[in-house]
C-alpha cells in the first residue's frame, strides 16, 4: 500500500519548551493520551489535535540538543500537518522543516517554516544559519561525488513566491482540496445524469472542455481590448479589433482544444488496406 513518509524537524524558542514538547510527543507515540495531555497543557496546547493527528501511523520522536525530530506515515491523500505546525507556532515553536517522501511517485519535497510563516529555503538559512548543518548535514564520503554539482539531496525545496503565513497556507490548501472534491462530485453527478439520458459522459466532458477553451479565448479578447483602449489612441479602432477577437479567439481555442482531444483524423488513412492499390492475384498453374 502506498503511503507518504513525513519527517518534521521542530526548533523551539528555549530549552524548556523543547523538553515539554518532547515529553508530550513521546507520550503521544506511546498512545498515553492522559500523560500527553498533561504535558500539552504545560506547553499551552489545550487540545492534542493542535499537536497530533490520530490517523498518523508508524510514529516516532527523537530529541536532539537543538530540536525534535518527529517521523510518521500518512495516506497518500491525507493533508500535510499544517494545522499542527500552525498550532505549535502559538506554543513556543520558532522554526520547522517538513520533509515529505511521496512513496507513490518516489519523490521528496521539503518545506521551510520560520516565525509562523512558510518561507523559501534561502530565507530560512539566512534567518537561521546556525541550523544549516542540522537540517542539511554534509554528505558522507562516497555520497554525491559528482564534481561541479551542488548536493541536491536538499534541493527539492518547495518555495513560496514570498513568505506566507502558515494559517493562510492551510486555508488555501483546504480550499483547493474542497474545490477538487466538489469538482469530482459534480462530474460524477453529470455522468449519472447523462447515463440516464443515454448520452456518453465522455462527450459531456469534451463539451465542458470546449466551453472552457472558448471562455478563455473570450477573456483574452476582453483583456486585449481593455489594455489597448486605455494605453493607445484610436478608441473605435481598438474596440472594433476587440470585437473581432471576441469571435475569432474563442473559435481558435475551441478548434485547438478539439484537435488535441480528437487528434488528426487523417492519420489513420495510411493504414487503410483500401488505399494500397490493386492486388494482383496469381492464377494456379
> How confident is the model over 145-154, as pLDDT tens digits?
444 344 567 8
Q: Say whether both 161 and 191 belong to one domain.
A: no
Helix or strand (DSSP H, E) at 23: helix 15-29
Q: Say whether both 56 and 160 belong to one domain.
A: yes
Q: Tell me if 219 is assigned to some domain.
A: yes
Last residue of a domain, one of 108, 139, 171: 171
Q: Say whether both 35 and 103 belong to one domain.
A: yes
Helix or strand (DSSP H, E) at 110: strand 107-114
Question: pLDDT, tens digit, for every residue of 82-139?
Answer: 999 999 999 999 999 999 999 888 899 999 999 999 999 999 999 999 999 999 987 6
- Say which residue the cell 561525488 belongs to: 145
- Look at residue 98 in the predicted model and tell me its pLDDT: 97
Q: Tell me if 214 is assigned to some domain.
A: yes
Task: Please state the pTM of the whole predicted model.
Answer: 0.64
Cα-flanking dihedrals φ and ψ of residue 108, to 5°?
A: -120, 145
Amino acid at each position: 500500500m502506498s503511503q507518504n513518509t513525513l519527517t518534521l524537524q521542530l526548533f523551539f524558542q528555549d530549552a524548556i519548551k523543547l523538553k515539554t514538547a518532547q515529553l508530550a510527543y513521546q507520550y503521544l507515540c506511546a498512545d498515553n493520551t492522559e500523560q500527553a495531555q498533561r504535558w500539552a497543557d504545560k506547553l499551552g496546547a489545550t487540545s492534542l489535535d493542535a499537536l497530533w493527528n490520530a490517523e498518523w501511523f508508524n510514529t516516532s520522536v527523537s530529541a536532539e540538543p537543538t530540536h525534535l525530530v518527529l517521523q510518521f506515515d500518512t495516506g497518500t491523500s491525507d493533508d500535510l500537518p499544517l494545522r499542527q505546525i500552525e498550532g505549535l507556532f502559538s506554543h513556543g515553536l520558532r522554526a520547522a522543516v517538513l520533509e515529505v517522501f511521496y512513496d507513490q511517485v518516489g519523490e521528496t519535497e521539503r518545506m521551510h517554516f520560520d516565525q509562523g510563516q512558510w518561507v523559501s529555503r534561502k530565507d530560512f538559512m539566512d534567518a537561521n544559519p546556525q541550523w544549516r548543518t542540522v537540517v542539511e548535514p554534509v554528505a558522507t564520503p562516497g555520497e554525491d561525488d559528482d564534481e561541479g554539482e551542488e548536493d541536491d539531496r536538499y534541493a527539492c525545496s518547495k518555495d513560496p513566491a514570498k513568505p506566507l503565513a502558515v494559517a493562510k497556507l492551510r486555508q488555501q490548501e483546504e480550499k483547493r482540496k474542497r474545490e477538487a472534491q466538489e469538482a469530482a462530485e459534480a462530474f460524477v453527478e453529470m455522468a449519472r445524469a447523462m447515463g440516464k439520458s443515454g448520452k456518453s459522459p465522455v462527450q459531456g466532458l469534451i463539451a465542458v472542455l470546449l466551453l472552457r477553451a472558448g471562455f478563455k479565448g473570450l477573456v483574452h479578447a476582453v483583456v486585449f481590448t481593455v489594455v489597448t483602449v486605455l494605453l493607445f489612441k484610436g478608441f473605435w479602432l481598438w474596440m472594433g479589433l476587440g470585437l473581432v477577437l471576441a469571435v475569432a479567439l474563442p473559435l481558435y481555442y475551441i478548434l485547438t482544444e478539439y484537435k488535441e482531444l480528437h487528434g488528426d483524423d487523417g492519420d489513420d488513412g495510411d493504414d487503410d488496406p483500401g488505399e494500397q492499390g490493386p492486388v494482383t492475384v496469381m492464377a494456379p498453374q
